[in-house]
Amino acid sequence: MKKFTEKDRYFMERALTIAYKVKGSTFPNPAVGAVIVKQGTIVGAGATKLYGGDHAEKVALKKAGKNARNAVLYVTLEPCCHFGRTAPCTQAVVEAGIKKVVVAVTDPNPLVNGRGIRFLRNKKVQVSVGLMQEEASLLNEDFFWSVTHQMPWVALKLATTLDGKIADSSGNAKWITNKQSRTFVHELRRRHAAVAVGKGTLLRDNPRLTVRHVKGCSPARIVFASSPEIPENCHFRKDASKYQSILVCKGGQRRRIEKRPDGVEVWYTGYKKNREHLSAFLRMAFDAGLTSIFIEGGRKLASSFLEHKLINRLYIFYSNTILGQGIESFSFAKHLTIDNTIRIGEIKTHSFGNNFLITGIPYRDK
């Protein structure tokens, strides 16, 4: 027996598309899309507003108005049933007279976690769960992780040649990958709460670390440095009033945040050793509401995060070129062997013209 029809799928796909548009602007809330359908027609649709604003269900219900009565609600995530900054969505759904709710995936947030669905069923609303579950889980994988682990989701991006070089022998990396790939990197930036680089990358490339080429808010910007001195003229410092800008430094007597007059926040983790330092940073980031972090290099920073098993998702963009000699992708403190590599699970590939992207989950083996 098929639980869902082609039409169900069509409407849930719409809800997912709407949700992806707001991905990156709802932190620390998940990005959710909702579509209300009556007699085969969409009578209301919406996505999560900025933090503190309406959830997707309420946006859609307001648009639908009286048409919501006896209609079907497609929603990419289980509706919430708790009072947060807004009143629970489940209550609004019941009050609007929605007949049936199709949910893509349950909300693992301990405050919800099936309670929303039970509430609706108790109120005689029909609920079906699991339509396009995989797609909806991917959409909010960062939220699901951070809400259950109380740590930010960490993604790592590399751009390499087919033979694994991230720059030529002289250190030049502009540009290894093509324009389509680089545009998608901006899309990925947009979807994360923060982007991070090492100080070496800051000094060499002077990156803006903002979202351009695609629509969307710029995330917080993070630079890892051994000391808090950075050049006055770098974009990171000059634009510190416009975007949250964090300089993460090792050591200090204890965990401490110093707000500088130039707008840059200096975060001292209180730890000197890499593993403790990075873990402490992640706790500070979570406490500051940064629930996902997109690391863009350089090699030292990327290698540190990866060898300490702190990466949740890996994105490698491959060019269609070969360099031979050049700068390696990674350099780990401990040499790995064939029988003891870092394995990447759930690998998927995407094409960007003659470039392609490999993405997967480190340390999972399937």
| Pairing outcome for strands 256-259 and 265-268 | antiparallel
What count of other Cβ atoms lies within 10 Å of the Cβ of residue 343?
Answer: 13
One symbol per residue from 294 to 313: x for binding a second copy (CB under 8 A), - otherwise; what is it? ---------x--xx------
Regarding 343 and contact with a second copy (CB under 8 A), the answer is yes
Q: What's the CA gap between 191 and 176, in Å, rounded?
A: 23
Query: In angstroms, what is the C-alpha Rg of the chain?
Result: 22
Stretch that binds a second copy, among 28-36, 100-108, 127-135, 339-347 (CB under 8 A): 339-347
Nearer of residues 78 and 307 to a second copy, judged by Cβ:
307
Residue 126 near a second copy by CB under 8 A: no
Nearest distance in Å: CB 158, a second copy: 8
Cα angle at 96 between 92 and 100, to 5 degrees? Answer: 95
Q: The tokens of 239 are what?
A: 């634009």
Is 328 one of the annotated active-site residues of the chain? no
Given the residues 57, 78, 296, 307, select the one marked as catalytic. Answer: 57
- Dihedral (Cα; 105, 19, 97, 43), 10-degree rounding: -140
User: How far from 243 is each of 103, 193, 240, 263, CA to CA, in Å?
Assistant: 35, 12, 5, 9
Minimum separation from the CB atom of position 334 to a second copy (A) = 8
Nearer to a second copy, 62 or 182 (CB): 182
**DSSP letter assigned to residue 284:** H
Can residue 172 be called a binding residue for a second copy (CB under 8 A)?
A: yes
By CB under 8 A, is residue 168 in contact with a second copy?
yes
Neighbours of 297 (CB within 10 A): 23
Q: Pick from 71, 92, 73, 3: which is nearest to 32 by CA?
A: 73
The CB density around residue 291, as the number of other CB atoms within 10 Å, is 23
157 binds a second copy (CB under 8 A): no
* Spatial separation of the C-alpha atoms in residues 107 and 59, rounded to whole Å: 19
* Given 175, 181, 191, 284, the residue binding a second copy (CB under 8 A): 175
Q: Which helix (H) or strand (E) holds 92?
A: helix 89-95
Cβ proximity to a second copy: between 29 and 303 the closer is 303
Residue 345 interacts with a second copy (CB under 8 A)? yes
**Does residue 349 interact with a second copy by CB under 8 A?**
yes
- Per CB under 8 A, the segment of 25-33, 53-61, 190-198, 317-325 that binds a second copy is 317-325
Asked if 274 interacts with a second copy (CB under 8 A), we say no
Under the binding rule (CB under 8 A), the answer on residue 164 touching a second copy is: yes
Q: Does 275 bind a second copy (CB under 8 A)?
A: no
Helix (H) or strand (E) holding 195: strand 194-198
Which residues form the catalytic set?
Answer: 57
- Positions that interact with a second copy (CB under 8 A): 160-165, 167-170, 172-176, 303, 306-307, 316, 318-326, 328-332, 335-338, 341-345, 347, 349, 351, 354, 356, 358, 360, 362, 366
